[in-house]
Amino acid sequence: MKQVKGVMPIGVFVLALTIIIMMSPATSKAEDAACIAGAKIEQSIASEATLEEFSCFFKKFEGAEVVHFKVAVKNVSDKPQRFRVHIFLENGKAVGGLIPRKTKKGLVEPGATGSFVYPVNGMTDKPQEVMLNVKTVMP
């Protein structure tokens, strides 16, 4: 009988890979919505924009699982725009930035949507209160 070498290590590798995949945290849309579903959310959105998406999820950032906010803003004006986003939390933490982050590729065109994901370093719990401000800025 001929012995096949290497079959056992391949089987162990496949089994280990299956276990790792099954144990890895997967975020679903339901988990994303649950992150801010119980939170008190206060919004102030510029008249030139509509909020297309505001969600949060937990993802690794600088070695820890922290809250990330995804903000998508649609330009409803007749001119290209750039938006400033501020997110304030109840514990004094705040994040924000510009959409688009850089203007080399242009601004958010009328009817188009721009988005960005903002990590909150050190925030490992679900937020209780969130204040979202979206304003237009001069390019």
pLDDT digits (tens, 9 = 90+) for 70-121: 999 999 999 999 999 999 999 899 999 999 988 888 899 999 999 999 999 9
Tokens found for residue 75:
């330009």
**CA 46 to CA 48: how far, in whole Å?**
5
Q: Which CATH architecture has domain 27-137?
A: Sandwich (2.60)
Q: How many helices (H) and strands (E) does the chain have?
A: 2, 7
Tokens found for residue 93:
């933490």
Amino acid at 121: N
Q: In sequence order, what DSSP letters do the residues of 98-124 get, joined into one string?
A: EESS-STT--B-TT-EEEEEEE-TT--
pTM score of the predicted model: 0.72
Amino acid at 114: G
Mean pLDDT of the chain: 81
Which residues make Cβ contacts (< 8 Å) with residue 26, sequence separation at least 6? none
